[in-house]
Amino acid sequence: MTWMTQRAAWALLGWCLSLGALAQGQEANIKKNLSERLPSMPRVEEVKRTPMTGLYEVRTESNEIYYTDADANYLIQGELIDIRQKRNLTEERLDKLNAVEFAKLPFKDAFTLVQGNGQRKLAIFVDPNCGYCKRFERDLEKLENITLHVFLYPVLGADSVEKSKAIWCAKDKGKAWRDWMLGGQMPSPSTCDTSAIERNVEFGRKNRITGTPTSFAANGNRIQGAVPLAQLQKQI
């Protein structure tokens, strides 16, 4: 390498370092401005550039995504779509942020239904008063060779909590669940430790489980809603 080539390389390195420092300063300035101008906003954890010139992504401590300009004069709540590639960049980012490792789900707070050899695995967060969950349950019953981990997730009101407790305290939780969801028959009231239900609700809030049913497949897929059976088969 000649001295001229070395000099050019060092100049390029210095330029790159300067750009990095400038970007860090810009991001710190956005954080500062947002905290001062919007003190009620959840704490900003991360600021990063987006593919759109002049637009920055803002991620809060609760994994909410916003967008702002370089001076944090404006705040945008919405989705960023890459039209050319037909990609929802906001949705992709949230999916990555809210990914839940299947093996680390709190299975002690769920009950299990095994169909066939149980080879495939699916965890579902469900509310006993959720109409979509009841429809989804009819499809789940048709799946072959699967283990279903059912997390009671009562988010539709006090009655959902009471029904969840009754099912959790039943001698056969799986049977009680299916009897209610498919046949409309609740088990006889009984008492037991129902703290698992409270933990499920807290887990869901932390991991942005915002509706029921929400499912997690062992392959890492997060499945929102009562998707058709054919689509579910492909995702698990």
What is the tens place of the pLDDT at every residue in 90-117? 988 988 887 788 999 999 999 999 999 9
Q: What is the mean pLDDT of the chain?
A: 89
DSSP sequence for 12-58: HHHHHHHHHHHHHHHHHHHHHHHHHH-TTSPPEEEEEE-SSTT-EEE
Percent of the chain with pLDDT over 90: 74
| Distance (Å, whole) CA 49 – CA 164 | 44
pLDDT band at 15 (very low <50, low <70, confident <90, very high): very low
Does residue 42 have a pLDDT over 80?
yes
Residues forming a β-bridge with 148: 113, 122
| Distance (Å, whole) CA 86 – CA 121 | 31
Q: Give the dihedral sign, CA 24/26/31/36.
A: positive
Rounded mean pLDDT, 1-22: 51
Residues forming a β-bridge with 44: 60
pLDDT score at 92: 87
Percent of the chain with pLDDT over 70: 90
DSSP sequence for 134-182: HHHHHHHTT--SEEEEEEE---S-HHHHHHHHHHHTSSSHHHHHHHHHH
pLDDT band at 12 (very low <50, low <70, confident <90, very high): low
Q: Where in the chain are the domains?
A: 3-97, 102-235
Does residue 19 have a pLDDT over 90?
no
pLDDT band at 18 (very low <50, low <70, confident <90, very high): very low
DSSP structure class, residue 104: G
- At residue 59, the 3 state secondary structure works out as strand
Please say whether the beta carbons of 84 and 92 come within 8 A. Answer: no
224 phi/psi in degrees, rounded to 5: -95, 130
Please say whether the beta carbons of 89 and 118 come within 8 A. Answer: no
pTM score: 0.70
pLDDT score at 220: 85
CATH number of 3-97: 3.10.450.70
Please say whether the beta carbons of 73 and 79 come within 8 A. Answer: no
Look at residues 100, 95, 93 and name the one whose alpha carbon lies nearest to residue 59. Answer: 93
In this structure, which topology does domain 102-235 adopt according to CATH?
Glutaredoxin (3.40.30)
pLDDT score at 23: 55
